[in-house]
Amino acid sequence: MSALSFHFDIDGEDFSSAGEASVAVKKKLRQLGFPSDVIRRCSIAMYEGEINMVIHANGGTADVLVEPDKITMILEDHGPGIPDVELAMKEGYSTSTEQIRNMGFGAGMGLPNMKRYTESLEIDTKVGVGTKLTMVVCV
């Protein structure tokens, strides 16, 4: 199998469509016959990233590169950026509003989950410019 790539535009206005890209990636990986734990880890990481872009950055883009031995997910937005990455990586730390929390988000588990379920998580962020996350899940 040669490398396959998928591109998604994440709509920042719409919470109801958040998760669409993750669900689509899950379906594709399943069709391609990846092991279920790999699919699960990709789904979780991708969903957290997608939700973060909707909550904090008014949407963005997601590119997924599928290779036989690894899956790379690149999520990019032009949101506010993360002022203190170390703090944002702490479980339970969240800057979400009460409204977001009422929807079941804002537990401060987004970035920690992304780190926990991927082999590598690179965060390239600049305040006022945006954030680019590169996550790799090895098969």
Q: Is 89 in the site for other proteins (CB under 8 A)?
A: no
Nearest to 125 by CA among 76, 89, 91: 76
Among 38, 89, 109, 139, binds other proteins (CB under 8 A): 109
**Residue 42 beta carbon to other proteins: minimum distance, rounded to whole angstroms:** 10
C-alpha span between 60 and 109 (Å, rounded): 20
Interface with other proteins, residue 40, by CB under 8 A = yes
Residue 2 or 99: which CB sits closer to other proteins? Answer: 99
Among 16, 31, 98, 99, binds other proteins (CB under 8 A): 16
Q: Give me 26's structure tokens.
A: 């899950």
Contacts of 131 (CB under 8 A, 6+ apart): 57, 75, 76, 77, 79, 81, 82, 123, 124, 125
Amino acid 30 reads R
Residue 95 in contact with other proteins, rule: CB under 8 A: no
- With contacts defined by CB under 8 A, name the span among 63-71, 109-117, 118-126, 128-136 that binds other proteins: 109-117
